[in-house]
Amino acid sequence: MGAVTEIEAGRDLIEALSEFDGGWLSATGLVEGVELRVAADGVDPVRALRGRYTLASLLGPAGGPYGVVLGRASELGLAVVAGQLVAARSLGVAVSVSGASGAATARSAPPRPPPAERASAPSPPPSQWSEAVAAATPEVAPEEEPLWPEAGDLVQHFAFGLCAVLMASDDRLKIRDLNGPGRLREIRAEVLKVYPPTERDGKRLFRLERKN
């Protein structure tokens, strides 16, 4: 196994991993802004995960694709998710390379900070992360991100009735009512309770209620 290279907090993880010259990459650390591709019938969907996650394991050839196992504390205990990494931002990730000819280091890798600037508590070695995840996985169901309406979907709003979704972001929806004068409205996600979709006229239909 080659020397360990640190990817500093704030860097795009996929971009940083692309700087390695060949070999097999393995990594652990902390990440946020994660997007995972997971297996499904038909097209494999990409799921965005909100918040910080422990990167328990990342494995793959230089240039990808990378398989990952992520962990996060939840109300139910330790939640574990896995899939193919599509996007993530480093919050401090250590990478090692094996199987590459010559020195296994990243191109233009940033210099390591002085000891005083590093985190006081070092991350456990990869083997300890893997053992912790393996012990927790049989007992805890994966934490899934709730489904959220997208442009082209329908919503049954508690006040505005049946509406078409024209634009969707993480924090708001732009909708147009279908049974009235066609008025456009913007509604905030933080005030809504979103129920799993049903189907209507070949489209997904979400029921929206006011949060208590």
Domain boundary among 85, 113, 139: 139
Tell me how far apart the alpha carbons of residues 79 and 51 are, in angstroms, rounded to a whole number.
13
In a domain, 27, yes or no: yes
User: Rounded to the nearest 5°, which phi and psi values hold at 23?
Assistant: 90, -175
**DSSP letter at 146?**
P
Query: CATH number, domain at 45?
Result: 3.30.1330
Q: How many CB atoms lie within 10 A of CB 10?
A: 9
In a domain, 148, yes or no: no
Most confident of the ranges 67-76, 84-93, 126-135, 163-172: 84-93
In a domain, 122, yes or no: yes
In a domain, 145, yes or no: no
Domain boundary among 92, 115, 139: 139
135 and 159 share one domain:
no
In the block, tokens 């393996």 appear at 134
pLDDT digits (tens, 9 = 90+) for 139-181: 444 545 568 899 999 999 999 999 999 999 888 999 999 988 8
162 and 131 share one domain:
no
In a domain, 66, yes or no: yes
The stretch 108-135 carries a mean pLDDT of 53
84 and 32 share one domain:
yes
Bridging pattern class, strands 184-188 and 192-194: unpaired
Tell me how far apart the alpha carbons of residues 37 and 46 are, in angstroms, rounded to a whole number.
4
202 and 170 share one domain:
yes
168 and 129 share one domain:
no
| Token pair recorded at residue 85 | 């990494």
Q: Identify the domain containing residue 189 by its residue range.
A: 154-210
CA distances 66 to 5, 58, 111, 157, Å, are: 17, 6, 24, 40
pLDDT digits (tens, 9 = 90+) for 18-68: 998 888 999 999 999 999 999 888 788 899 998 899 999 999 998 889 999
In a domain, 79, yes or no: yes
132 and 191 share one domain:
no
Short-list 74, 33, 71, CA closest to 53 = 71
Model's pTM, two decimal places? 0.49
130 and 165 share one domain:
no
In a domain, 149, yes or no: no
Short-list 6, 36, 2, CA closest to 22 = 2
129 and 158 share one domain:
no
Burial 197-212 (b: 16+ CB within 10 A, else e): beeeeeebbbebeeee
**Could you give the percent of the chain with pLDDT greater than 90?**
51
Q: Which residues contact 84 (CB under 8 A, 6 or more apart)?
A: 36, 37, 38, 65, 66, 67, 68
In a domain, 85, yes or no: yes
The predicted pLDDT at position 62 comes to: 87
The stretch 109-113 carries a mean pLDDT of 53
In the block, tokens 């280091």 appear at 105
Q: Is the pLDDT of residue 110 over 60?
A: no
Q: For the chain, what is the domain count?
A: 2
